[in-house]
Structure 1
């Protein structure tokens, strides 16, 4: 267990450490190059993991996965926004495409978690080591992703910087990162969105940290709890897909993206509160309430996340788009780190209900960040960026 924990920790450290530099790299050299590199690193990581027989092989695989994860944070959404702006202008509605992309990502995660759990049970041992099957299939999927990126994602002119030397590219990255971070902490819209992302990180990690033990307690054994968690996780991804697909409609019904994000945050907070309130239930009733709350939680969280992503892209220009998106991801992970350091200890001392109660309170308070949200106009004319820089 200590070795597994070390591999996961190294993966997290590499991801966090490269989050902003790789975002800046995507803003300098273009989205497709960085996405292709991410797919190549992921393919290599999963292929290595599928053949690993020693701790050090798994550790190298974790490093490669961390690099791939950092490279993939933001460029795809940035490519879509840049392309849509080129085709339909800077005032194009970003929500429908982002919603379809978010829903498809969640559907893929749902299918992946079910396939990853089922493949080792059906693969003949004489064909391959059963536990290696999910990683090998994942490596094939990464190869497909690489082909799609290379042949189906033409680089928009706004993100292409022409032929430059490697030294020139590397010199531009720190300046791009600095400008993007300054924009994220200096602009009133992005400041609020970063705090909202951190709050979401607290909630998501509280679920990831505390749900497996809770389900094992309800199911009776760790093995049965693992099966229950796989099923609930798949339902959660289905809820996430539903939330992403419904986000544009929620925004229309509530009167705007900010109000839609408030609705999603409140729904998420109520779902976590329901987990806290039903923490004392046992047996089938406990499993049912936990499953329903889990699905609704991820639906609400996806609504807030997608509408927040739309507001983020509207608040920046193409020059810092991926860097700021990476900063949002970093904020999410920072909230998760805080939750990891505090909620586990709180659950040990005061119970799971108390920890989930704190997470629900944090999420409910984050809804206030979207109240009277300033209008984001940074992705249209460049003058908005200059105006924001002057007022910051």
Structure 2
């Protein structure tokens, strides 16, 4: 395998990992409501999904570090196919609950192993100083492309219900997601040879996963660089939750109805994923432009740090733009929708730039034995930030208005760039 083929395989797996999720986003809740669940029951189902992910996030990361990347990715793909097939067939609360619990297991399993596979493979081919940015940028870009394409297709396919014969139109995108997950499974088994990695026996696995998880968490707490990167993930989790929580209702007010607001949000979500893909693609160039590198100037780590900080600042400015648009919106209309949508897309461009460069900094800081666990720790921190946002932003928006909540999150995101201040000019690598 060559470095180029490793990048291409990682990009393909990244796309296939998120295509089933994209196809599911638009019809999932509507399918449950259409088959008789109440909105409260739908909320309970989605809560179980979130709880399963949170409980398994770190153990599955430790599993990938203990037994290998490919087997965990294969399990994730198989669980995704099974969970989506369960959604298609479910007709009761308990059927949907079980299907979404399986999807939660799949999501936890898929968090980290693909990136860990790519980094380990590139290190084996080019050494620990290999440039991770191009491959990470391509992979994260294609994740967003998959989500964008999936959201658009998932929203459009049910409109052509008559073309699917006796199939439930709302179930068609989810069924296609299950087919895509089978394709993902085949690609993982055929195209992802396991990179050099210490194997564990069954007894070693049972002992090794808790030990790996514990060491990963302790590393994130004790290592100053990783601690700051994990805190950044919590800030990003707050920002994304703020958007998911407040944008749909805001758009409903700007369009004049809940139905039009839902349509506007679907379109805006697709544009946001496209903006994130653009930011991911621009991340390497952003890092180069912000820190030219003639002799004697800061090295590659400084480039990545400044690029990551710039992405955060751009995201904070975009959130401030959303706050201004909300404060000065005079009522429903296309102009108000455009003013709300433009900073939304810019926010995701900034987060796309930041995400690639933060991932590179993280991977250069950990060893192969800690890589997937650290990805899971980072993801869990994002969930913690999201939980904090859910508990605080809704009451704030209710009491002081949507604009006040966005101002607060804008300040948190922009200020979090200070966590990247005074970083060494060379990567503080712990990789062998």
TM-score by length of 2: 0.86
Deviation, structure 1 residue 243: 0.2
**Equivalences for 1:60-209 in 2 at 5 Å?**
60-124=98-162, 126-157=165-196, 159-161=197-199, 164-209=200-245
Select 1:360's aligned residue among 393, 404, 410: 410
Whether 2:280 is the aligned partner of 1:244: answer yes
Question: Could you report, residue by residue, the CA deviation over 1:256-311 in whole angstroms, capped at 9, with x for unpaired residues?
Answer: 00000111001000000000011031322210011111111000011111111100
Deviation, structure 1 residue 160: 4.3
SS of the aligned residue for 2:128 comes to: coil
Which consecutive unaligned segments of at least 5 residues does structure 1 have? 382-392
Distance 1:61 1:217 in 2: 34
Tell me the equivalent position of 2:429: 378
State the number of aligned residues: 378
Deviation, structure 1 residue 30: 0.3
Tell me the equivalent position of 2:79: 41
Distance 1:343 1:47 in 2: 35
Select 1:314's aligned residue among 347, 364, 371: 364
TM-score by length of 1: 0.95
Question: Could you report, residue by residue, the CA deviation over 1:204-250 in whole angstroms, capped at 9, with x for unpaired residues?
Answer: 10001000001111111111111100100000000000000000011
Distance 2:309 2:274 in 1: 21
SS of the aligned residue for 2:180 comes to: helix
Does the Cα contact within 8 Å between 1:74 and 1:322 map onto a contact in 2?
yes
Select 1:13's aligned residue among 39, 51, 71: 51
SS of the aligned residue for 1:292 comes to: helix
Tell me the equivalent position of 2:34: none
Does the Cα contact within 8 Å between 1:40 and 1:142 map onto a contact in 2?
yes
Does the Cα contact within 8 Å between 1:318 and 1:379 map onto a contact in 2?
no
Tell me the equivalent position of 1:260: 307
Which consecutive unaligned segments of at least 5 residues does structure 2 have? 1-38, 292-302
Tell me the equivalent position of 1:288: 338
Distance 2:334 2:423 in 1: 42
| Aligned alpha-carbon RMSD (Å) | 1.0
Does the Cα contact within 8 Å between 1:257 and 1:311 map onto a contact in 2?
yes
When residues 246 and 359 of structure 1 are mapped into structure 2, their CA distance, relative to the original with a 3 A threshold, is same
Deviation, structure 1 residue 379: 4.2
Distance 1:165 1:91 in 2: 31
The range that moved more, 124-133 or 95-104, is 124-133
Tell me the equivalent position of 2:68: 30
Distance 2:405 2:271 in 1: 23
